Structure 1
Amino acid sequence: MFTKVTSVFAALTVLLFSTGVFFTADARPFYKGKRIIFLGNYPAGGANSTEGRIFAAHIAKHIPGKPRIIFRDMGGAGGLVATNYLAEAARPNGMTVGFFTWNPVAQVLKDPGLRVDYPDLQFVAAAAPPVICYIRKDAAPGGINSPQDFFKKARGFKFGGLRTTSTHDLKGRLSLDLLIGPENYKTVTGYRGFTPIFAAIHQNEVQYHTTSIPGYRRVVEPTMEKPGLVKVLYQYETPTVDGRYLRSPNLPNLPTWLEVYKMKNGKNAMPSGMKWKTLKFLNTLNSQLFRMVFLPPKAPKAALKALRTAFSAVTKDKEFLAAYKKAIKAKPAVIVGKKGEAIINATLRNVDPKMVSFLRQYVKSGGK
């Protein structure tokens, strides 16, 4: 009898070793009993903060261990202050998670304000909301009430920017240069975030701006568009690998910038040259990766795995989707894990040297 029991025990031991099933302290979820800080890289009240807080409010239940999550905003230098903090000052223990509107151009141009390479951060996930462009209606005599009014009459207005090397400023300037000419507007850059620019629009310090759909739904639509202060003109298009330029499904009735370009120049017209090539490159990148979730470079792999699992799960969470739709009137587009890593590495390590040279000169002429 003793021999039989011993044999059964031995067989169970072999089974447990072979399957890796052990009930030890190692099975405790990494984030059990912990608190995570989600760190935004723009001031509170802007699009980044709006979207980040929706994710933060719903993601915890999908993280093994169900930690407590706090969202904090750290604006400055066009989003670079918080980016540097995550890489240099945040403890790499998995308890600080960046929720950033990233600025890949800063790395391409070796902006001294960015002291980390994005591929060195650990990529968790990314969201890609569409971006709209709008202008005060009183920025031209007789008012701007349509895209046609804009490209025919808008002259001498000011575009509110963040930093000469920011993707926001560069896309704004490139699209305006191609549509109405660089001589017909001025760029006023250096605002600490979108919240100050929203205030500047209200105060008529600047008249033109661009923002992603969270900022549009939370601020622009209720406080500017509906009261009749601004006209929303167009959205940046999403370029596809087969040569198409698409509207976002979240803004099906708003024309793209390219469609407005064709309104002005003819239905078969296409922009060309390095400005167009650069704008298309930035639109291609931002249509996939815009709002980025990062961990510090040396954060534990267990943290990375847990967070990637959670961001995959939250996109199927009915409560999260309902909250996102209520606040933003859109569906989130999220990329998780290896796919995003591949895009980051492929994009930032293979930029056309001619484009880099062009951008260096273009940045020097910015912030008039």
Structure 2
Amino acid sequence: MTRIDRRKFLAASAAAVAAASFGLPKAFAQDSVDFAGETIEWWIPFSEGGGSDVWARFMAPYLAKHLPGQPNVIVRNVPGGGSITGTNEFVARARPDGLSLLGTSGSTQFPFLLGDTRVRYDYAKLIPVLVSPTGGVAYLPASLGVADASELSKIGDQELVYASQGATSLDLVPLLAFRLLGLNVRHVFGMTGRGDGRLAFERGEATIDYQTSSAYLTNVEPLVEAGTAVPIFSWGVLDTEGNVQRDPTFPDLPHFVEALEMATGAIPDSVEFDAYMAFFGSGFAAQKPAMLPEGTPENIVAAYRQAFADAAADPDLQAAKGEILGEYEQAVGDGVQTLYEVATTIDPEAREWVREFLMSEYQVQL
């Protein structure tokens, strides 16, 4: 299985030194942390009502409950520029005093990984305290006669149609995946969401599709049960060592790397596969990280990591998580670092390959 090499963060200053350097409140200059009476702003660089906003608003009360002093945690929406604007603003303005937290998503990580010139943030300088994964399932019409990934060679020469939101959106992951599988897929851009893609599939306008886990369970499983759609693979998840594992929501389905081996006979050692793994990690396996600003003292970081670990284990959260978090294990505590690096790291050669590929095949200018 693929492993993601670990990279060390710059060590944070000792709490007392950081307090002197950044003028932190006195309570944060001690070994213990107390947020009593404070208000913490959780910055979300998206509009209200989107997936990241819903995620943060779901998690916020549990974070408040488990942080020392039980502060008020509010979500601050700073949309614009496809989430680049708010993230740039956070990096420029947020102080490392524990009162500002940033939550991003794969659509924020992708521009960073691609080297978009608008990006002013560096994930290596932010400090992760939570990473939330998500999943999805790719499927075909039953009429194609493909029972599983080992039979994809049956349709290797047939043109398939995928209804896409754009070459640099989260649909970059299936774009790279279908290419690795050797499928002949025409990507039709302009969809406003994956729901549009599913409807195009149901109308017969699209002949290959994927849906996120909750949407698949709600809208596609009935098609499978009716015999009109066939699931081929899930994207899978990553364990705390960065190894690809089966999606816990779909344990009987092969994950993509298994499907790739079933279809082609091998897992390639190539820059193209490295690129896929980087964007899969960022778009799904480690889609939503929560981070503190560069320079945040170690005691505050430790308090946040413990609070998110306690929140993830909270019986009330477990009972209420439903479609917000699904069955996916939240990366907290010592498990946060590797998945965070998966979401925010790409080999320079793989980055250059993707940039050239997108420019030559889809005229994307970054």
1:234 paired with 2:233, answer: yes
Taking structure 1 as reference, are residues 150 and 59 closer, same or farther at Cα in structure 2, changes over 3 Å only?
farther
Compare CA radii of gyration and give the structure with the larger one: 1
Partner of 2:276: 279
How many residue pairs were aligned?
324
1:84 CA drift (Å) = 1.8
Q: Could you tell me how far apart the structure 1 residues matched to 2:348 and 2:162 are?
A: 31
- SS in structure 2 of the partner of residue 334 of structure 1: coil
Taking structure 1 as reference, are residues 43 and 235 closer, same or farther at Cα in structure 2, changes over 3 Å only?
farther
1:128 paired with 2:133, answer: yes
Q: 2:89 aligns with which of 56, 61, 85?
A: 85
Partner of 2:180: 178
Q: Could you tell me how far apart the structure 1 residues matched to 2:49 and 2:232 are?
A: 23
Taking structure 1 as reference, are residues 86 and 210 closer, same or farther at Cα in structure 2, changes over 3 Å only?
farther
Taking structure 1 as reference, are residues 330 and 302 closer, same or farther at Cα in structure 2, changes over 3 Å only?
same
1:237 CA drift (Å) = 3.8
**Superposed counterparts of 1:170-209, under 5 Å:** 170-181=172-183, 183-186=184-187, 188=189, 196-201=192-197, 203-204=199-200, 207=206
Taking structure 1 as reference, are residues 339 and 96 closer, same or farther at Cα in structure 2, changes over 3 Å only?
closer
Say whether the 8 Å CA contact 1:86–1:98 is kept in structure 2. yes
1:330 CA drift (Å) = 0.6
| TM-score, length-scaled by structure 1 | 0.69
Letter in 1 for 2:187: K
Q: Could you tell me how far apart the structure 1 residues matched to 2:253 and 2:86 are?
A: 33
Partner of 2:7: none
Taking structure 1 as reference, are residues 292 and 31 closer, same or farther at Cα in structure 2, changes over 3 Å only?
same
1:72 CA drift (Å) = 4.8
1:331 CA drift (Å) = 4.1
| TM-score, length-scaled by structure 2 | 0.70
Say whether the 8 Å CA contact 1:123–1:341 is kept in structure 2. no
Unpaired runs of 5+ residues, structure 2, are 1-25
**Superposed counterparts of 1:141-156, under 5 Å:** 142=143, 146-147=147-148, 152=154, 155-156=159-160
Q: Could you tell me how far apart the structure 1 residues matched to 2:154 and 2:47 are?
A: 35
Q: Could you tell me how far apart the structure 1 residues matched to 2:270 and 2:297 are?
A: 45
Say whether the 8 Å CA contact 1:41–1:73 is kept in structure 2. yes
Letter in 2 for 1:204: A
**Superposed counterparts of 1:1-368, under 5 Å:** 26=27, 30-90=34-94, 94-102=98-106, 103-129=108-134, 131-134=135-138, 137=141, 142=143, 146-147=147-148, 152=154, 155-161=159-165, 164=168, 168-181=170-183, 183-186=184-187, 188=189, 196-201=192-197, 203-204=199-200, 207=206, 210=210, 215-217=212-214, 219-226=215-222, 232-238=231-237, 245-265=244-264, 268-283=265-280, 289-297=286-294, 303-325=300-322, 327-336=324-333, 340=337, 344=341, 348=345, 352-365=347-360, 367=362
1:197 CA drift (Å) = 0.5
